[in-house]
Amino acid sequence: MKIAAGLAVNVQEKILLSRQIRHRDDAMIDKFTTVYAGHIDMPDRGKEATPANERRFSAGELRGVFGKLERVTQTMDRLGWHSMWMAEHHFQHEGYEVIPNSLMAAVHLCHITDEIKIGCGFNISPMWHPLRLAEDYAQADIMTKGRTIFGVGRGYHTREVETFGAPLRDQTANRELFEEQVEVLFKAFHQESFSHKGKYYNLPANVPYRGYDLEEITVVPRPVNLPVECWQPVVSARPRGLDFMHKYGMKGFIGGGAATLDEGPIRAYQEAGVRAGKELELGEGINIGLHMLLGETKEEAIKNITPLFEEHAKLFGPLGFLPGLSDKQLAAIAQRGDWYSQGVPKVENYMKMGAWFAGTSEELTELIKGFEEMFPGLEYINLSMPMCTPESMMIEQYTKIAEEVMPHFSGGEHVKKAAAE
C-alpha cells in the first residue's frame, strides 16, 4: 500500500475500512509496550462521576498506586511484554498521575521482575537539573543491567513545571531550556569529561577546587549502555522539534496521549531523518500508541471504554489533548451531567480520528497488521489502558492482548513458548 507523501491520512480508519491489506511475511512489530501514568483505582468514573477538580484522595489511597504498579508490571513480565512505561508527574491529589520518580520506580520494578524493560515516559527535564538527571539515569542503567529506557519531555502541567521554577506558559523559554538540558545530558552521557557554556547552565562552576581551577567535569557514574537510547513524545511534529530529535538520535512516541493519529507525523519524522543524513524506513524509530479496550464485541468494548474515556477527557481536555473542544464543551466536561447535549464528542469520534480503539482481539490484530503494512520500519506498538482503568481490568486486558493478539506477531514468541510449556 502506497500513500502519497505529506497526505494526512487517518491510519486506523484507513486500515479498518479497507480490510484488503496484504500482510508481509517479514512482519516487523516485535515489541509490545504500554504506558501507565499512575492512576489509582477510583470509586466512580465517567461524566456522572466526581468532576476532576473536586477529586481529592487521602495519602494512603494515593500510596496504593505503587502496589498496583508492582502487580501490573509483574503480570506483564510473565506475559512477555517488551516494556512498561511510566510518566513523571507531581502534586496530583486528584489521583490521576501519581508517580513522581520513574527512575526510582524502574530500579525497584526491575528487581521484582525478570525480563520486562521499564521506560521513562517521560522525565520532565525542565523540572530537573540535567546533571542530576544524567547521574540518576546512569545509576538506574547500571543497577537494572540495561533494562531502564530513558525518555525526556517538556511537560504540560503548569502546576508542576512552574512550581518547580521552570517556564511552561512561556513556550519559547520552555523549549530553549529543554534543548539546552538535552545538550548537557548527552554530553554527560557520552563524554568522559566536558564543559558547557549556555544561556541557562555554565558547567562546571567557576570555582577553585583542591588547589586547581575547574575546567571540565565528569558525571559519575556514566551509563554502561552507550549510546543512550532516548525517547521523546512527538506532538506538533514541526521540523524544528524533529530535527532536534535526530540531532541526538532520539526516538519518538506518536499517538496515545493525543486524540488523533495520522501518517503525517510518522512521515515527518522520517523526512527529518533524511535531513540529518539517515536512511530510515517509514516507521523506524517510532512507537505508535493507542488508548484501547478489548471486548467480545465492538459494542461491548465501546460501552466499557466510554466512562474511561470520559474520565480521560476530564483531565486532558483542558490541557489541549482533545483538540477542537469549544469553551462551552470544556465547561461541560468540568461538571457532572449530560455532556453530549452540549456537543462534547463521544469516544467513537476519537476512534475515527485514530488514537483510540475499542473492539475485538481480531479487529486489533488486523489493525496492527495494517500498521506493519503501512510502516515497514515499525518495531513498536504501544497499547495503553485509558485513564482510571481499574487494576483488575488492566490485568485482564493485558492478558487478553498477550494471549490473543501478540502471538500473531514476532513479539509473541515468548507467549507461544510459555503456552507450550
Structure confidence by residue, pLDDT tens digits, 16-60: 444 344 344 454 899 999 999 999 999 999 999 999 999 999 999
| CA nearest neighbour of 133 among 87, 200, 185, 202 | 185
* CATH at 228: 3.20.20.30
Region 293-317: what's the mean pLDDT?
97
Res 374: pLDDT: 93
pLDDT of residue 420: 52
Q: Is residue 3 part of a domain?
A: no
Question: Which of the residue ranges 233-237, 308-312, 408-412 has the most confident prediction, judged by mean pLDDT?
Answer: 308-312
**Domain for residue 89, yes or no?**
yes
Predicted confidence (pLDDT) at residue 347 exceeds the cutoff of 90: yes
Lowest mean pLDDT among 35-49, 132-146, 273-287, 343-357: 343-357
Confidence class of residue 332 from pLDDT cuts 50, 70 and 90? very high
Question: Could you tell me the pLDDT band of residue 415, with boundaries at 50, 70 and 90?
Answer: low
How many domains does the structure of the chain reveal?
1
Per-residue DSSP letter, 344: P
Residue 4 lies in a domain: no
pLDDT band of residue 9 (cuts 50, 70, 90) is very low
Whether 4 shows a pLDDT value over 50: the answer reads no
How much is the pLDDT for 21? Answer: 40
Residue with cell 509483574: 74
What are the residues whose beta carbons fall under 8 Å from the beta carbon of 132, sequence distance 6 or more?
none
Residue 413 has pLDDT above 60, yes or no: no
- 205-214, 350-359, 411-420: the lowest-pLDDT one: 411-420
Q: Which of 62-76, 201-215, 398-412 has the lowest mean pLDDT?
A: 398-412
pLDDT tens digit sequence for 240-268: 999 999 999 999 999 865 545 678 899 99
The number of angstroms, rounded, from the C-alpha of 318 to the middle of its chain's C-alpha atoms is 19
Share of the chain above pLDDT 90, in %: 85
* pLDDT at residue 13, rounded to an integer: 54
Contacts with 187 (C-beta within 8 Å, 6 or more apart), sequence order = 194, 196
Domain interval for residue 300 = 11-413
According to the model, what pLDDT value does residue 202 have?
Answer: 97
Mean pLDDT of 358-368: 97
Looking at residue 320, its pLDDT comes to 87
- Structural contact between residues 36 and 384, judged by C-beta atoms closer than 8 angstroms: yes
In this prediction, residue 10 has a pLDDT band, given cuts at 50, 70 and 90, of low
C-alpha span between 211 and 158 (Å, rounded): 44
The predicted pLDDT at position 418 comes to 52
Distance, in Å, from the CA atom of 314 to the CA atom of 290, rounded to the nearest integer, reads 18
Confidence tier at 353 by pLDDT (50, 70, 90): confident
pLDDT above 70 covers a percentage of the chain that reads 90
Residue 359, domain member (yes or no): yes
Mean residue pLDDT of the chain comes to 91
Please give the backbone phi and psi of residue 87, each rounded to the nearest 5 degrees, phi first: -110, 140
Instruction: Identify the band that residue 6 occupies on the pLDDT scale cut at 50, 70 and 90.
Output: very low
State residue 262's pLDDT score: 73
> What integer pLDDT is reported at residue 236 of this predicted model?
85
* pTM listed for this prediction: 0.90
Domain membership of residue 76 (yes or no) is: yes
Q: Write out the E strands in 180-339.
A: 196-197, 202-203, 208-209, 212-213, 230-233, 251-255, 286-294
Look at residue 6 and tell me if it is in a domain.
Answer: no
pLDDT tens digit sequence for 83-112: 999 999 999 999 999 999 999 999 999 999
Please indicate, yes or no, if residue 306 is contained in any of the structural domains. yes
**Is 147 inside any structural domain?**
yes
Helices (H), 276-326: 298-316
- To 10 degrees, the CA torsion angle through 384, 389, 393, 395? 50
pLDDT digits (tens, 9 = 90+) for 111-131: 999 999 999 999 999 999 999
